[in-house]
């Protein structure tokens, strides 16, 4: 089992090395794409800075808390987009029969699907995340490593949610747009100041639309650390990941092989 894990890690790093080489085939384009992504993100941040500059705070949240939210969410999304974006193509693979290419590989089919696509420009999200962390004012080594950890938990959350909505394609046709819209709606909720959700909206924010685990809980962990909050976030994210993986393999049992053959 350990040997298989080591082999998967080696394969993962080999694939990422190939992605970097491909992205830097034209170094100028790669750098420009990263910078443009960073500028685009910072323009969105600037809008919120103006709002907080004029309002002061929103239900107890200041721009410092908002900066931590951007740090966590941007790093989480960057990890998803760079290393696991392929799962968003599951509906397309099912529709055109190319899912067969991943099912016949000796490695985990879900792993191979996950790493089948990477968007190099999303390194700009990492750059944005680190900039926002240092602008938050909560700067210390312990907070920095804790931010990296909760960002990774955020990645697991994004991966699990995207996998679930992508797997709808096993049960219905033409679900690509539905999956994209649901995932973007979740991201939109997750990028709002969590303090605006109170009462029943807060319960909804942490259950039906669990965007609170991308915003409210991570920021609370970073600003007022309690081990119970960290345990709650870890438990929820890993539970959702378990459900997502089981849902993928359950849907796979309903998949009817196409007639396209190839080697990945």
Q: What is the pTM of this model?
A: 0.90
Strand partners, 58: 61
- Rounded CA-CA distance 161/179 in Å is 10
Sequence-distant (6+) residues with CB within 8 A of 118 are 16, 19, 81, 82, 83, 85
Distances (CA, A) of 98 to 81, 95, 105, 160, 213: 21, 8, 12, 22, 34
Residue 19 in domain: yes
Q: What is the pLDDT of residues 34-53, one digit of tens each?
A: 899 999 999 989 999 998 88
- Rounded CA-CA distance 5/112 in Å is 14
Please report the pLDDT score of residue 254 as a whole number: 84
Please report the pLDDT score of residue 1 as a whole number: 61
Is 67 in contact with 44 (CB distance < 8 Å)? no
> Most confidently modeled of 135-139, 200-204, 239-243?
239-243
Residue 261 in domain: no
Residue 23 in domain: yes
Residue 120 — pLDDT band, cuts 50, 70, 90?
confident
Residue 259 in domain: no
Residue 70 has pLDDT above 70, yes or no: yes
Q: What is the pLDDT of residues 102-116, one digit of tens each?
A: 888 878 899 999 998
Q: What is the pLDDT of residues 82-94, one digit of tens each?
A: 999 999 999 999 8
Please report the pLDDT score of residue 263 as a whole number: 47
Q: Which helix (H) or strand (E) holds 262?
A: none
Residue 259 has pLDDT above 60, yes or no: no
Residue 190 has pLDDT above 60, yes or no: yes
Please report the pLDDT score of residue 154 as a whole number: 95
Range of the domain at 52: 2-252
Within a 10 A sphere around the Cβ of 143, how many other Cβ atoms? 17
Distances (CA, A) of 33 to 11, 79, 173, 231: 26, 17, 34, 37
- Rounded CA-CA distance 255/21 in Å is 35
Please report the pLDDT score of residue 2 as a whole number: 66
Here the tokens at position 85 are 């974006």
Q: Give the range among 123-127, 147-151, 205-209, 240-244 with minimum mean pLDDT.
A: 205-209
Residue 193 in domain: yes
Residue 246 has pLDDT above 70, yes or no: yes
Please report the pLDDT score of residue 258 as a whole number: 57
Mean of pLDDT values over 188-210:
76
- Rounded CA-CA distance 132/8 in Å is 33
Average model confidence (pLDDT) for the chain? 87
- Rounded CA-CA distance 238/213 in Å is 12
Q: Give the range among 102-106, 141-145, 185-189, 194-198 with minimum mean pLDDT.
A: 194-198
Within a 10 A sphere around the Cβ of 196, how many other Cβ atoms? 12
Domain count, the chain: 1
Please report the pLDDT score of residue 209 as a whole number: 76
Q: Which of these, 122, 106, 120, 111, lies nearest to 37 by C-alpha position?
A: 122
* Percent of the chain scoring above 90 in pLDDT: 49
Is 158 in contact with 80 (CB distance < 8 Å)? yes
58 backbone dihedrals φ, ψ, rounded to 5°: -125, 105
Please report the pLDDT score of residue 138 as a whole number: 92
Within a 10 A sphere around the Cβ of 76, how many other Cβ atoms? 26
- Rounded CA-CA distance 192/39 in Å is 19
Within a 10 A sphere around the Cβ of 189, how many other Cβ atoms? 18
Residue 231 in domain: yes
Residue 94 in domain: yes
Higher pLDDT among residues 213 and 264, named by residue: 213
Q: Which helix (H) or strand (E) holds 120?
A: none
């Amino acid at each position: 089992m350990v040997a298989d894990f080591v082999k998967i890690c080696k394969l993962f790093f080999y694939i990422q090395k190939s992605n970097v080489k491909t992205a830097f085939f034209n170094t100028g384009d790669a750098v420009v794409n990263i910078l443009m992504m960073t500028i685009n993100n910072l323009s969105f941040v600037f809008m919120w800075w103006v709002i907080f500059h004029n309002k002061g705070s929103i239900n107890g949240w200041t721009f410092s808390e908002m900066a931590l939210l951007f740090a966590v969410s941007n790093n989480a999304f960057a990890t998803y987009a760079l290393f696991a974006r392929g799962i968003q193509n599951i509906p397309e693979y099912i529709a055109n029969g190319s899912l067969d290419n991943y099912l016949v590989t000796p490695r985990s089919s879900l792993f191979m699907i996950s790493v089948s696509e990477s968007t190099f420009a999303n390194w700009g999200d990492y750059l944005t995340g680190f900039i926002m962390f240092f602008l938050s004012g909560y700067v210390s080594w312990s907070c920095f490593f804790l931010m990296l950890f909760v960002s990774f938990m955020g990645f697991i959350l994004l991966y699990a949610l995207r996998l679930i909505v992508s797997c709808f394609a096993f049960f219905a046709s033409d679900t690509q747009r539905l999956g994209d819209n649901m995932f973007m709606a979740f991201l939109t909720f997750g990028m709002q100041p969590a303090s605006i959700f109170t009462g029943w909206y807060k319960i909804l924010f942490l259950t039906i639309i669990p965007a609170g685990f991308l915003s409210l809980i991570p920021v609370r962990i970073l600003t007022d650390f309690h081990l119970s909050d960290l345990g709650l976030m870890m438990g929820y994210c890993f539970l959702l990941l378990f459900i997502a993986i089981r849902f993928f393999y359950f849907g796979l049992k309903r998949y009817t092989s196409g007639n396209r053959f190839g080697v990945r």
